[in-house]
Amino acid sequence: MKVHSITDHIFAIHADIRSEDLFEGIWPIPYGVSLNSYLVKGDRIALIDLVRDWVGAPGELAGQLAAAGTSISDIDLLVLNHLEPDHTGWLGEFLELNRKAVIVTTSKGADLVGNFYFEAERIAVVKDGDKIDLGQGQVLQFFETPNVHWPETMMTYVSDGGVLFSCDGFGSFGALGDRVFDDEFSPEEHEFFEGESLRYYANIVASFGLFVKRAIDKLSGLDIRVVAPSHGIIWRSEPSVIIERYLRYAGYLDGQREKEIAVIWGSMYGNTEAGLQYVLEGIEEEGVPYTLHRVPNEDVSWILADAYKCEGIVIAMPTYEYKMFPPMAYVLDIFDRKHVWYRKALRIGSFGWVGGAKKEYEAKTAPLKWENLEAVEWAGAPDADTAELLRARGRELARKVKEA
Ligand code: FEO
């Protein structure tokens, strides 16, 4: 990877991680993810956000620092906006290689430096609005943005260039290659990254939508000309695109969602699948777009991303040993953790000799505050009356989604 200049004093460094490892041990990254760090050079040198020792990331960091005319041992200040180990896992080694650098972080961040890396001395705690002058017009200013993504999180701003170092905020999955700026990608590539930014948001940040809104509100007085996150594209041409996108994502929590339906289904012997086709016919009659996600075949990462933006949800599953189809129980568990709230929902499904999914489904969706249409369950294969009922429920759900 190459080092990229953002201004005469600020450089972007990144490592593309392409691995079969799961991000956070849960989320697939088939298209990779970037770990971005930033170098700010005044009379003193600051490095903003670090890496973990993952697929050669520390080597990339060292090589790109050298290309920018500096080195690990030259760093005076290591700003840690966020302590999750994707940005800090290599801290112990860094502190061994560099005996002078001081870690700059929030008070809660300092606690985590101690908990994860047993370092308590080389830390400067900063508070909301504090500034550190590096010389040559490079002044770091810090803004606490708790829970974007962890409670200790802050963002760092340099007014010379209007650069906001936002760490997880405004981030995305997807490796970058040798281009890093928004104006270097084609519309098709932006479409890809938009999908990966939604998946990243839904997987990583979704539970904290309220805090995303607060952070954006807090930063609204700044002249932000570059959004420089620690995952994904750096936005120097149209930073408002990613800020507005994140505001839209945050609004999915309790505001306007897309008038679309995420259809999540599982089937043991094809009978639930057969019934689902009638629901889809009803939805199509009303002209509402929908997407299909089969469990357990599709990873919940993508199901969550789609459900996060959709106003409507269909849960189609058979009864399994008196209860829900097990992979669907996992999906609803994830929906609870990630606050997939206030949807219009329809449950359908077949059973063999007795039903039983209802009780578990109702318990699992109660905290989600979903508006559930009357469910349709049938024994065995769907007969003509069931088919008509399923079609009607599909129409009813689609109409509710359109009216929302
Ligand atoms: Fe990229 Fe919450 O760490």
381 CA distance to ligand 1 middle (Å): 47
Q: Is 87 in the pocket of ligand 1 (CB under 6 A)?
A: yes
84 CA distance to ligand 1 middle (Å): 5
pLDDT of residue 181: 98
- The DSSP result for 274-324, as a single string, is HHHHHHHHHHHHHT--EEEEETTTS-HHHHHHHHHHEEEEEEE--EETTEE
Residues in the chain, total: 404
Half-sphere exposure of 252 (CA within 13 A, CB side): 28
Instruction: Identify residue 184 by its one-letter amino acid code.
Output: E
pLDDT in tens, 120-173: 999 999 999 999 999 999 999 999 999 999 999 999 999 999 999 999 999 999
pLDDT in tens, 70-82: 999 999 999 999 9
149 CA distance to ligand 1 middle (Å): 7
Quick check: 198 and 174 in contact, CB under 8 A? Answer: no
Q: Is 52 in the pocket of ligand 1 (CB under 6 A)?
A: no
The pLDDT confidence band at residue 1, using thresholds 50, 70 and 90, is confident
pLDDT of residue 356: 83
pLDDT of residue 354: 83
pLDDT at 325 over 90: yes
- Given the CA of residue 153, which atom of ligand 1 is nearest to it? 2
pLDDT in tens, 203-241: 999 999 999 999 999 999 999 999 999 999 999 999 999
Mean pLDDT of the region 245-271: 96
Quick check: 197 and 243 in contact, CB under 8 A? Answer: no
pLDDT in tens, 15-40: 999 999 999 999 999 999 999 999 99
Residue-averaged pLDDT of the chain: 97
Mean pLDDT of the region 391-402: 98
Q: Is 152 in the pocket of ligand 1 (CB under 6 A)?
A: no
Distance from first CA to last CA of the chain, Å, rounded? 46
Q: Which residue has the higher pLDDT, 355 or 209?
A: 209
Rounded distance, CA 262 to CA 293, Å? 7
Identify the DSSP state of 204: I
186: β partners:
none
> Nearest Cα to 107, choosing from 84, 138, 128?
128
pLDDT in tens, 286-297: 999 999 999 999
71 CA distance to ligand 1 middle (Å): 24
Query: CB within 8 A of 330, min separation 6: which ones?
Result: 295, 296, 300
167 CA distance to ligand 1 middle (Å): 7
- Given the CA of residue 230, which atom of ligand 1 is nearest to it? 1
pLDDT of residue 353: 85
Q: Which two structure tokens, joined as six digits, stand for 220?
A: 């609204």
With pLDDT > 70 as the criterion, what percentage of the chain qualifies?
A: 100
> Nearest Cα to 68, choosing from 34, 37, 101?
37
Question: Hey, whose CA ends up nearest to atom 1 of ligand 1?
Answer: 168
Quick check: 171 and 14 in contact, CB under 8 A? Answer: no
- Given the CA of residue 167, which atom of ligand 1 is nearest to it? 1
pLDDT of residue 355: 82
Our CA angle for 152, 196, 55, nearest 5°, is: 70
pLDDT at 69 over 90: yes
- Given the CA of residue 168, which atom of ligand 1 is nearest to it? 1
Question: Hey, whose CA ends up nearest to atom 3 of ligand 1?
Answer: 84
List the domains of the chain with CATH numbers. Answer: 4-251 (3.60.15.10), 258-403 (3.40.50.360)
Rounded distance, CA 399 to CA 261, Å? 11
Prediction pTM value: 0.96
85 CA distance to ligand 1 middle (Å): 7
